[in-house]
């Protein structure tokens, strides 16, 4: 559901995207509202599906995930059943942190994180390539992250 955001909604969302653990009292002060109306707006943003959750940002390298890659996957036939088979299989792979259905040269784009190149090889050969219906796989490895912002650009809405 899409709804028009108010200026107050945008201010609240900007702060919540940067500081999801902020208290309601501090949030209200930061956005220039009193706590009760601020809390009502936050609850409405949650109820409307605009705020979908709160999470900690974890440094992958600090927990031993030193290799990040993007994998382009093309499937053989573009039937609903084949696409569903691939989607279900990918959803069960913990190394896949994001999966996008694409328009263009590839059908799916996967973002994966693994410990090292050996782990990538095991993932690609033993797990990914065993999914039925894959026609082509192309991998690109991240050398350095220039920007990875969890925030969405609210100035554009």
Q: Which domains does the chain have, with CATH numbers?
A: 7-47 (1.10.10.10), 61-141 (3.30.70.920)
Instruction: Count CB neighbours of 151 within 10 A.
Output: 10
**Could you say which DSSP state residue 62 is in?**
G
Tally of CB atoms within 10 A around 37? 11
The residue with tokens 């039925």 is 132
pLDDT in tens, the chain (157 residues): 578 899 999 999 999 999 999 999 999 999 999 999 999 999 999 999 999 999 988 999 999 999 999 999 999 988 898 889 999 999 999 999 999 999 999 999 999 999 999 999 999 999 999 999 999 999 999 999 999 988 888 876 7
Q: Give the global pTM.
A: 0.86
pLDDT at 59: 93
d(CA 25, CA 98): 34
């Amino acid at each position: 559901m899409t709804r028009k955001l108010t200026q107050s909604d945008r201010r609240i969302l900007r702060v919540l995207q940067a500081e999801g653990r902020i208290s309601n009292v501090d949030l209200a002060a930061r956005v220039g509202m009193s706590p009760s109306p601020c809390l009502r707006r936050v609850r409405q943003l949650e109820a409307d599906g605009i705020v979908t959750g709160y999470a900690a940002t974890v440094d992958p390298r600090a927990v031993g995930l030193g290799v990040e890659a993007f994998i382009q996957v093309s499937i053989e036939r573009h039937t609903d059943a084949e696409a569903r088979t691939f989607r279900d299989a990918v959803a069960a792979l913990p190394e896949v942190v994001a999966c996008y259905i694409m328009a263009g040269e590839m059908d799916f784009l996967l973002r994966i994180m693994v410990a090292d190149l050996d782990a990538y090889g095991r993932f690609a050969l033993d797990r990914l390539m065993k999914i039925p219906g894959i026609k082509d796989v192309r991998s690109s490895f991240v050398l350095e992250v220039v920007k990875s912002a969890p925030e969405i650009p609210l100035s554009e809405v």
